[in-house]
Structure 1
């Protein structure tokens, strides 16, 4: 019976190790998921920064376009006054 008891004790220790390793794997997997989320957040932040830069560029281009339109209208009006359309 002593051999049986020894085997049971050994198996219990093995079971404890198994449970410990299993819990460590689960803990590491949770950290892994968090890191993946953080990496996605980093990508999201990077994308948001790109969008912000592009919005500013768009705003600058719109301002340039408006200024060009105003210049075109002003030039047309000046030339229309200086030179009659029909000669």
Structure 2
């Protein structure tokens, strides 16, 4: 019976370790999920920042294009007026 009790005692210790490791594994997996989500959020923020920069650059390019277009129209009109006055 002592052998049996010894084996049962060992089984209980092993079961305690098993339960402990299972709970630690679950905790670590939850942390891993949280870290992956944080990384995704960081990547999202980086992409959003890049989008904002591109929108700003696009607005500036549009502004420059409008100014150039106005200049082209002005020069064209001036040339037309000069040709008409000849």
User: TM tier, shorter chain?
Assistant: over 0.9
The match for 1:83 is 83
Distance in 1 between the 2:12 and 2:55 partners? 64
5 Å-filtered alignment, 1:7-86, equals 7-84=7-84
RMSD between aligned alpha carbons? 1.4
Residue deviations 1:34-73 (CA, integer Å, cap 9, x gap):
1111111111110001100000000000001110111111
Which stretches of structure 1, 4 residues or longer, exceed 3 Å deviation after superposition?
none
Task: Count residues in correspondence.
Answer: 86
Question: What is the TM-score with the length of structure 1 in the denominator?
Answer: 0.92
Question: What is the TM-score with the length of structure 2 in the denominator?
Answer: 0.93
Structure 1 gaps, min length 5: none
Structure 2 gaps, min length 5: none
